[in-house]
């Protein structure tokens, strides 16, 4: 058995690859910090930093100055603690029996979001001593949080244990991506009453979209998420953020097909001209969703255009249905010499905005990013010019 194989750069030879521009990520965070005015700016890094890697993303943001982070689970918080040693790390799902050790050993801040969690947290403090927490209040989302009136009653309860001392009271906007929606103002007014009741305790309402709503939504701490990662936070507005993630797939084969032949499962696409096709190594198992198919899926009946790739300066459409591991693109309009097996097709990135790819799939950039599969070889870059 020989061991004389040449060492090859894993990224250069990967079938699927994802480039994460940490310089763009940091500049996006700084942009959101500027827009947050006097409020301090944290960062939502839940779901493995929106699919881009909590270790590298967390460290880059920490080095850029972020000191408040929001994760979904204690496990995420424990991982992040290694890269953000003295930051406050808030765990949005709160605390449950059996997880106490993770919170205390990693200095994580549970976000208390229900009466049940509040009762349990009181017992934890009685057994283990003081520890910071945050309080989530529902102001109309009907997701997590104490009812606003119950939170105000808690703030005014003189019998409340002194050990229960939240460092942050927070709520979440339901319609922040639609600036004209009346619910934004309703939630703002409700949250103002809560924050007033918790006088002297920091307050946080604005996510990425909330930051764009203006200074009255900023309070003491903003917590941008999707905007940091280059996604569009507000509908019907040009996205000012820099693209962060670029997903590419290798072309495994190019082939010619005649007019009248069909492409992919179900024969959903019948070619109207002689065509050249490029088959790439990405499919719905990699987060390149079947609903992006240009033919043979219900979404195309709505008039929304299907997915596109980018190669050699050309945007090219998906041909037929996307499959588990493979996607076919129609490259007929690209000069033949510019498309070869082994080349890479951009699925989204600087030329195909992630929000455009998401719209073709009938979804949002959050899902596109967090749905990235495990088969992408990742590369992190940081352009010195972005510092």
Per-domain boundaries in the chain: 36-222, 245-386
- Mapped to the 3 state alphabet, what secondary structure does 13-82 carry? HCCEEEEEEHHHHHHHHHHHHHHCCCCEECEECHHHHHCCCHHHHHHHHHHHCCCEEEECCHHHHHHHHC
The CATH number assigned to the domain with range 36-222 reads 3.20.20.10
Q: Is 65 a residue whose pLDDT tops 60?
A: yes
Predicted local distance difference test score (pLDDT) of residue 159: 80
Q: Please identify which of the residues 193, 265, 314, 315 carries the catalytic annotation.
A: 265
Predicted local distance difference test score (pLDDT) of residue 158: 82
Per-residue tokens: 66? 């972020």
- Told to judge if 314 belongs to the known catalytic residues of this protein, a careful annotator would answer no
Predicted local distance difference test score (pLDDT) of residue 160: 80
The CATH number assigned to the domain with range 245-386 reads 2.40.37.10
Cα gap 261→330, rounded to integer Å: 13
Quick one: angle between helices 54-64 and 22-35, nearest 10? 50
Q: Please identify which of the residues 46, 83, 284, 366 carries the catalytic annotation.
A: 46
Reported in sequence order, the residue ranges of the chain that DSSP labels E, i.e. its strands, are 16-21, 40-41, 43-44, 68-71, 88-91, 108-112, 134-138, 146-147, 168-170, 202-204, 221-222, 245-257, 262-263, 269-270, 275-280, 308-311, 314-317, 327-330, 344-348, 377-381
Residues forming a β-bridge with 20: 245, 380
Q: What is the reported pTM? A: 0.94
Contact (Cβ atoms closer than 8 angstroms) between residue 242 and residue 228: no
pLDDT in tens, 321-362: 999 999 999 999 999 999 999 999 999 999 999 999 999 999
Summary mean pLDDT of the chain: 95
Q: Where does the pLDDT of residue 40 fall: very low under 50, low under 70, confident under 90, or very high at 90 and above? A: very high
Predicted local distance difference test score (pLDDT) of residue 87: 98
Contact (Cβ atoms closer than 8 angstroms) between residue 224 and residue 44: yes
- Told to judge if 46 belongs to the known catalytic residues of this protein, a careful annotator would answer yes
pLDDT in tens, 211-238: 999 999 999 999 999 999 999 999 989 9
Q: Is 307 a residue whose pLDDT tops 90?
A: yes
pLDDT in tens, 252-284: 999 999 999 999 999 999 999 999 999 999 999
pLDDT in tens, 156-175: 988 887 778 899 999 999 99
């Amino acid at each position: 058995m020989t061991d004389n194989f040449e060492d090859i750069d894993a990224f250069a030879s990967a079938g699927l690859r994802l480039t994460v521009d940490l310089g763009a990520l940091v500049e996006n965070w700084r942009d959101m910090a500027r827009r947050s005015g006097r409020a301090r700016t944290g960062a939502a890094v839940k779901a493995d930093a929106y699919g881009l890697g909590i270790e590298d993303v967390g460290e880059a943001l920490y080095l850029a100055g972020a000191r408040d982070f929001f994760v979904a689970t204690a496990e995420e918080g424990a991982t992040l603690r290694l890269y953000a040693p003295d930051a406050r790390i808030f765990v949005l799902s709160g605390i449950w029996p059996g997880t106490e050790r993770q919170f205390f050993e990693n200095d994580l801040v549970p976000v208390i979001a229900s009466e049940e969690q509040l009762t349990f947290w009181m017992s934890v403090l009685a057994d283990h001593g003081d520890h910071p927490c945050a309080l989530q209040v529902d102001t109309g989302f009907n997701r997590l949080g104490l009812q606003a009136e119950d939170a105000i009653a808690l703030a005014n309860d003189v019998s409340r244990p002194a050990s229960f001392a939240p460092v942050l009271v927070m709520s979440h906007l339901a319609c922040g991506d639609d600036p004209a929606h009346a619910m934004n103002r309703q939630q703002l007014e409700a949250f103002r009453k809560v924050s007033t009741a918790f006088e002297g305790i920091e307050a946080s309402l604005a996510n990425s979209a909330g930051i764009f709503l203006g200074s009255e939504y900023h309070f003491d701490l903003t917590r941008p998420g999707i905007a940091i990662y280059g996604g569009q936070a507000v509908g019907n507005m040009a996205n000012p953020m820099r693209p962060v993630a670029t997903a590419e797939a290798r072309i495994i084969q190019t082939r010619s097909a005649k007019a009248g032949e069909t492409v992919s499962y179900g024969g959903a696409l019948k070619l109207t001209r002689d065509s050249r096709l490029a088959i790439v190594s990405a499919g719905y198992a990699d987060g390149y969703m079947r609903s992006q198919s240009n033919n043979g899926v219900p979404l195309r009946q709505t008039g929304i255009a299907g997915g596109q790739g980018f190669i050699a300066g050309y945007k090219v459409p998906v041909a037929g249905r996307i499959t588990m591991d493979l996607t076919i693109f129609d490259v007929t309009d690209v000069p033949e010499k510019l498309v070869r097996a082994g080349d890479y097709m951009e699925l989204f990135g600087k030329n195909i905005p992630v929000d455009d790819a998401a719209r073709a799939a009938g979804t949002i950039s959050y899902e596109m990013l967090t749905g990235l599969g495990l088969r992408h070889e990742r590369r992190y870059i940081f352009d010195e010019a972005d510092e």
